Amino acid sequence: MCHVDTFDPKTIGDPRTNKPGSAYRSIPTAIPGVRVCQHLSRTAKLLDHGILLRTLNHPLKVDHADSTNLLKTGRRTSGTIIYPALGSLVSHQRGPRDPTVPPYVVVGYPNVTRGPGFLGSRYGYLYLTNPNAGPEFMKRPPDVDGIRLRRRKDLLRLLRAKEVTRSTADHSIREYNDAITEAQKLMDGSFAKTFDLTTEPGTTRERYGSAFGQRCLLARRLVESGVRFTEVAYDLNFRNGTGWDTHRHGQTAQYLLIQDLDHSLSALIEDLHLRGLLDETLIVVATEFGRPPDFDGQGGRGHQSAAFSAALFGGGLRTGQVIGATDDLGRSVVHRPISVPDFHATIMTALGMNAATELYDGDRPIPITDHGTAIRELFT
Amino acid sequence: MGISTVLTVTENPVSRALIFAPVQGHLYFNPLKSRGPAGEEGLLLALHTTSAEDRLKNAVWWICFMRILSRFRIILSTGLLLLASFSCTVCADEEQAIHLRFETAPQVQRGNYRAHGVLQATLSPGDLIVPPLQNRASGEFDGSSAIVYAVPGNTDGFAENFTWEGFFLSPATNTFQPETGIADRLLTQFAFAKGDWTRLAIGLVADDEGDPRLCVELEGFEGRSFGMGDQSFVADRWHHFALVHEGTAAAARIRWYLDYQLTGELFLGGQSDQNTLRPPGPAPFTIGARLKNGEQVNRGFHGFVDEIRMVPRPLTVSEFLRTDAALLQQTVSTDAMQAEHNKAFWDDRHRRAQEQAAQWTAERSASWSIDEYFDSSKPEIDDHAFLRRLSLAVRGRIPRVDEVTSFIADPRPDKRIGIIDQMLESDEWGDGWVGYWQDVLAENPSVVFPTLNNSGAFRQWIYESFRQNKPFDQFATELILMEKNSSHSETDDGPAGFGVATGNDAPMAMRSHVLMKAFAAVDLTCARCHDSPVDRFLQADLFQLAAYLKGGPLVIPNTSVAAVNRTHQQGVITTSLFTGQKIQPKGLSSHWLNKREDASSLRSVQPGPRAQLAALITSPHNRRFSDVFVNRMWKRFFGTGLVESVDQWNNFPGASHPELFHHLSTEFVTTGYNVKALARTIFRSRAWQRQRQRRRRMSGEQLVDSLFIAVGKDFRAETLGVHATDPGAVHLPQPHRAWQFASLPNERDRPALGMPVSQTIVNVMTAFGWSGSRQKPRSERELTTSSLQPLMLFNGLMSQRVTRLSEQSTVTQLCLRDISAAELVDNLFLTTVGRPPDQEERSKFTDVLRPGFDNRRTGQPARPIEPLSTFQPDWRKHLEAEQTRLMLDAQERVSRGEPPTVRLASDFRERVEDVLWALINSPEFVVIP
């Protein structure tokens, strides 16, 4: 996501003459003296609940997978350790708010960078891609009605009972059997209903808007049901062709994407605020790298990781601030750089975790962040 | 005009050497294999003709540069060049042709350049050259090697009128990409000016039948022109190719020739409004792969080339380089020679191993059996359970219902021995092993851009190796050599894929770590960054190995040195190496060899440090090698090893049954590291056939394969490839067994890269402990049970597909037969849990199926079978909105699943589906007997 086109606007550039700079005008926000892109109008008004981190930086700017991995796990890939994603770390340290609910959910595609690494699959995530349908395995098949369901349960109960009697001492049978019981509880319980968006009023669904918005709405419901960490991936579905990776002609309709983000993000903030949940929910808006103020000769932008932005909302932090400053075109950090480990440490501290904890992979100690320190100014 | 400069270079370990050719041109090259027909080392010669006045100037340059370049280990024949330059004849034209030729080393001796009689001092157009492979070497390219030749200042010569020509040989094992841009490039010329560039390439592309054609492509800022030659050509034979470009920057014509016949023509610019070639400027030619800033950008040719010539004027066919026609007709098979040499080597090696093992046997009692070491009072499992356990162990899947019934019906008292032998003969023995080695060797290919510690794909090679029952020492040797071998498949790079570790700044250290864990049970994880705090290994031990694997000195990268003063464990963690330190390949330390051995006394299968390392590791003197593998086998088939840990014997804890362990290991060596023989010994034992206290759950792959086998369905998944342009990305074929899956490409949340069918299957495997991404080696899967697992089997789309009675299901066929309800129930049990139902089960289940049973057949004809999904993601199109729509449509179809058969009444059909559902969800299905 290009920071100079969103949260860190600069003087206006011109793609046609290759003059570097922001592609859009900027507007004032609820933080005095702070401006954002004109297409973030709604979020701008809510910025008093937010914090702009304008000086994220890291050295990987070429490849998406590499950088995504760094942002998610806080470290580069190593041949000896598979680092867990932030969601798994949070899941490991805090668990879910409700023990019957999975602690870590991803609304997006499964990906090793989101995974639990050496912590093991217990701290993995449940994922779904379609907020209207829920995760693949939570919903009963549509052609299985009540009668069939009962029949299935009866037959299975018989088989299970038989097997348990036959192999009394066997751990594996017992464990799997217990897992079946737990699974049935999960399906029949209230968590499964979290995914049914049709119970939301139409006005709410409209206010959230597009596909991405529906994901945000689902995220709110997941928060309410007790999920500790939800990652919502941007569902590209071609608002502008290339999504956020605006090389070349992809830049042309980027503003549609920004407006989309604005629409849905502001809906989420307002909704949580209305329900009194904003103080205890931290919203993190992040990207794997930014994009330079320069245009690439065809109107788009390449990648830049020397300086880029992220945004935080709520979370009980001291909001209404901007941390860090970039130079006049947003190419480099001028004041207060924020490393990715610092970013992670901040999020963890906001969640009440100790950012200096050490985890263990076998007998090898692994600090939970790579020497990151939380941003002091955000905490009372 | 004659030759005034000759460069001779050997295969050298420096990855890049910049040689200022004193004429025009900078020659950069990668370590390129140049081999003669008997495997001897070869040389690359760049023959360059220039004008007379340059010659003297050039001679001076040469003398100056010899000193500087000597550290690059370039052999320069300098003084003689002066001789040569004055002794050559003068050409009629003032040409600036460039000619590259490969030579066998013995023919060119330092200081005796003249003895090299076959080297043409003069090259005129139409010259008869001594053909490739006739007492000569050729350049062997492997798709990623390149010769890069830059011609600064020569901006005119190769922009308007010029000819490229040469000889190439494409091995029969080669495969080609279809027309998306030439993948296998022979020659490329890249021209770049700010905002404007062109790239002209000639190379090989597959036509619609998959046969290779010689094609030409000009790509540039304004678009792309492409022409496919009209002739295919025969593999394993030498062919001549030529490209002739005539014209100006405004309009030009390119013609290209295969074996002296015109095979294609392209018109550029002018009326056709396409790019024309920009002047090359300082940008280089490449032969083979295209490099940019030293990184490989495009795949290069895989095969042999020789006699590449670039002439700055358009030649006519009669002026092309000629060779003896008969030699061009000859089919060359270096593979056969290589195979023979290999066989002799391994036979000899195993004979020595036998001799060595015989000495150990004499030390202990001669006859032994596994069973004398275990309590024989525990009962054996029954025939149903035995067959299931054996089938899963040998073939990675449950037996089919016909296999069960025929085994049960077999009256012979020794039928278990018979079925063991029969199953071991099956190709599926290979299938059963792949998943294990993918984990242990961290096979981790990527279908898109590989940057997260990815390797290449080498799964097919693993499969083949075990299917053929390759001796295990040979398997390990091939792996350590990390070469593409001729038996590799179309989609696999074989062990060369193991040699790749992307996004890793010390790939050979990573590989050493994997190999040591796999074959020596030595854990060097710590040594990557510091000395081990708990055992004897120093960082240097790992990096010495890595240098050995690399074949040359290794420089310690800064990510490999722990920042000791930052941790609060000073004093416990030390580092013995520092960033930038250079490590030489030295002999293996005695840490991991039982007996110190002089490397030079051990013959290795071919020259080179890797082969030496392999010979040392697999030597019969190195008992650990066979011990570790025997333990791995034992653990795999019994659930616990004779030695508790399979891959970490740093502080050797001892075996639970030392004498048995010794016998097994000795026998393994005696049989020539025969894996099947060892397996046979294990399966025949009573110890293996008795009831287990601690049973194990099926692995993800076993579960998926078993579920599909039970109902006779095929995956019908996508091809695992997206035509990604990055050379490291793999394109794997449509999977038919679970091990053939890989991690799926939609990691960037781009819907149009989704694979709806594969996703449903991968979801199940992942829930049951499989992972498509294997960044680290592991010897054991996670065994934790979570509620996610039964959830996947309850409601997941794959599970729905398995239970659905579509036309593809063998259960549908079964229901249509003339059988009773009780027989149907029996069959359903046999097909899923592999045993007949007991009294109560039969009764209850038959009650469920009885309503409407007699009228179950509707008499309607079967509906035609439609594809499950026709969507195949394509990287080149994945940003188009249409692609997302197609993917979502496909996903929708996959959600709906296969249509149920109309030949059975729907209520009855649903009952059968419910029965199937209950059976596959019972713990009995999932846990191995």
Mean per-residue pLDDT for A140-164? 92
Alpha-carbon gap, residue B482 to B496, rounded angstroms = 4
Contact A136 B797 (CB under 8 A): yes
Across B421-469, where does the E strand assignment appear?
Answer: none
Q: What is the pLDDT of residue A276?
A: 94
Whether residue B660 contacts residue B368, with contact meaning beta carbons closer than 8 Å, is answered with yes
Mean per-residue pLDDT for B290-314? 71
Task: Report the chain A residue with the minimal C-alpha distance to residue B879.
Answer: A242
**N-to-C CA span, chain A:** 30
Residue type (1 letter), B463: Y
Mean per-residue pLDDT for A137-157? 91
Residue B29 pLDDT grade (very low, low, confident, very high; cuts 50, 70, 90): very low
Alpha-carbon gap, residue A24 to A39, rounded angstroms = 8
The nearest CA of chain A is from the CA of B642 a distance in Å of: 21
Q: What is the pLDDT of residue B824?
A: 96
Instruction: Report the residue of A18, A64, A80 to disrupt the B interface, i.e. the one with the largest count of B CBs within 10 Å.
Output: A80
Residue B86 pLDDT greater than 80, yes or no: no
Q: Could you tell me how many CB contacts below 8 A there are between chain A and chain B?
A: 202
Tokens of B692: 């287990």
**Between helices B401-409 and B383-395, what is the axis angle to 10°?**
130
The nearest CA of chain B is from the CA of A329 a distance in Å of: 23
- What does each C-alpha distance from A6 to A65, A255, A258, B126 come to in angstroms? 22, 9, 7, 65
What does the buried/exposed string (b/e) look like for B22-31 if buried means 16 or more CB atoms within 10 Å of the residue's CB? bbbbebbbbb
- B773–A contact, CB cutoff 8 A: yes
Task: Report the chain A residue with the minimal C-alpha distance to residue B772.
Answer: A112
Whether residue B139 contacts residue B29, with contact meaning beta carbons closer than 8 Å, is answered with no
Mean pLDDT of chain B: 75
Residue A163 pLDDT greater than 80, yes or no: yes
Alpha-carbon gap, residue B301 to B292, rounded angstroms = 17
For CA atoms A163, A166, A169, A172, give the dihedral sign: negative
Whether residue B195 contacts residue A297, with contact meaning beta carbons closer than 8 Å, is answered with yes
Digit-coded pLDDT (tens) for B328-354? 555 544 555 556 667 888 888 888 888
The nearest CA of chain B is from the CA of A297 a distance in Å of: 7
Q: What percent of chain B has pLDDT over 70?
A: 67
DSSP for A51-64 reads EEEEEEE-S--S-H
Q: What is the pLDDT of residue B114?
A: 26
Q: What is the pLDDT of residue B69?
A: 37
Which range has highest mean pLDDT (A166-180, B417-431, B762-776)?
Answer: B417-431
Contact A113 B771 (CB under 8 A): no
A-chain residues near B695 (CB < 8 A): 167, 170, 172-173
Of A109, A115, A187, the CB nearest to B749: A109
Residue B269 pLDDT grade (very low, low, confident, very high; cuts 50, 70, 90): confident
| Per-state percent for chain B, helix, strand, coil, to nearest 5 | 40, 20, 45
Name every residue whose Cβ is closer than 8 Å to that of residue B422 and which is 6 or more positions away in sequence: none
> Between residues B240 and B708, which one has the greater pLDDT?
B708
Residue B308 pLDDT grade (very low, low, confident, very high; cuts 50, 70, 90): confident
Whether residue A20 contacts residue A293, with contact meaning beta carbons closer than 8 Å, is answered with yes
The nearest CA of chain A is from the CA of B538 a distance in Å of: 16
Of B162, B372, B360, residue with least CA distance to B280: B162
Residue B795 pLDDT greater than 50, yes or no: yes
Digit-coded pLDDT (tens) for B410-460? 999 999 999 999 999 999 999 999 999 999 999 988 888 776 678 888 999
- B638–A contact, CB cutoff 8 A: no
Q: What is the pLDDT of residue B600?
A: 44
Alpha-carbon gap, residue B606 to A301, rounded angstroms = 51
Of B428, B438, B381, residue with least CA distance to B403: B428
Alpha-carbon gap, residue B530 to B113, rounded angstroms = 50
Residue B76 pLDDT greater than 60, yes or no: no
- B732–A contact, CB cutoff 8 A: no
- B766–A contact, CB cutoff 8 A: yes
Alpha-carbon gap, residue A65 to A53, rounded angstroms = 22
Digit-coded pLDDT (tens) for B362-379? 666 667 889 888 887 888
- B293–A contact, CB cutoff 8 A: no
What does the buried/exposed string (b/e) look like for B335-374 if buried means 16 or more CB atoms within 10 Å of the residue's CB? eeeeeeebeebbeebbeebeebbeebbeeeeeebebbebb
- A360–B contact, CB cutoff 8 A: no
Digit-coded pLDDT (tens) for A293-350? 999 878 889 899 999 999 999 999 999 999 999 999 999 999 999 999 999 999 999 9
Q: What is the pLDDT of residue B633?
A: 96
Residues 221-280 of A with CB under 8 A from B: 233-238, 241-243, 250
Contact A180 B921 (CB under 8 A): yes
- B725–A contact, CB cutoff 8 A: no
A-chain residues near B841 (CB < 8 A): 158-159, 162
Whether residue B98 contacts residue B89, with contact meaning beta carbons closer than 8 Å, is answered with no
- What does each C-alpha distance from A265 to A52, A54, A213, A262, B25 come to in angstroms? 14, 18, 8, 5, 58
Mean per-residue pLDDT for B221-233? 81
Whether residue A322 contacts residue A8, with contact meaning beta carbons closer than 8 Å, is answered with no
For CA atoms B46, B49, B54, B56, give the dihedral sign: positive
Residue B235 pLDDT greater than 50, yes or no: yes
* A192 DSSP assignment: G
Digit-coded pLDDT (tens) for B584-634? 766 556 554 545 455 444 567 766 778 878 888 888 888 889 999 999 999
Contact B844 A158 (CB under 8 A): yes
Q: What is the pLDDT of residue B36?
A: 40
Q: What is the pLDDT of residue B575?
A: 66
Which range has highest mean pLDDT (A35-44, A140-149, B80-89, B155-164)?
Answer: A35-44
Residue B893 pLDDT greater than 70, yes or no: yes
- A16–B contact, CB cutoff 8 A: no
- B452–A contact, CB cutoff 8 A: yes
Instruction: Report the residue of A152, A165, A234 to disrupt the B interface, i.e. the one with the largest count of B CBs within 10 Å.
Output: A152
* B398 DSSP assignment: P
| pTM recorded for the entire structure | 0.71
Q: What is the pLDDT of residue B572?
A: 58
- What does each C-alpha distance from A356 to A120, A277, B382 come to in angstroms? 21, 27, 56
- B503–A contact, CB cutoff 8 A: yes
Contact A120 B782 (CB under 8 A): yes
Which range has highest mean pLDDT (A167-171, A172-176, B1-5, B534-538)?
Answer: A172-176
Tokens of B697: 């759950």
Mean per-residue pLDDT for B454-472? 92
B-chain residues near A116 (CB < 8 A): none
Alpha-carbon gap, residue B518 to B445, rounded angstroms = 19
Residue B327 pLDDT grade (very low, low, confident, very high; cuts 50, 70, 90): low
Task: Give the H/E segment covering residue B440.
Answer: helix B428-440
Residues 34-53 of A with CB under 8 A from B: none
Across chain A, where does the E strand assignment appear?
Answer: 26-28, 35-37, 50-57, 104-107, 126-128, 229-232, 282-285, 308-314, 321-323, 325-326, 333-335, 338-339, 358-361, 364-367
Of A115, A137, A158, the CB nearest to B792: A137
> What ipTM was assigned to the predicted interfaces of this complex?
0.79
Mean per-residue pLDDT for A158-173? 85
- What does each C-alpha distance from B58 to B10, B94, B202, B285, B310 come to in angstroms? 22, 17, 32, 22, 20
Alpha-carbon gap, residue B753 to B883, rounded angstroms = 9
Digit-coded pLDDT (tens) for A238-289? 566 667 888 877 788 889 889 999 999 999 999 999 999 999 999 999 999 9
Of B526, B559, B918, the CB nearest to A155: B918
Residue B75 pLDDT greater than 60, yes or no: no
Q: What is the pLDDT of residue A157?
A: 94
Tokens of B654: 């001892």
A-chain residues near B539 (CB < 8 A): none
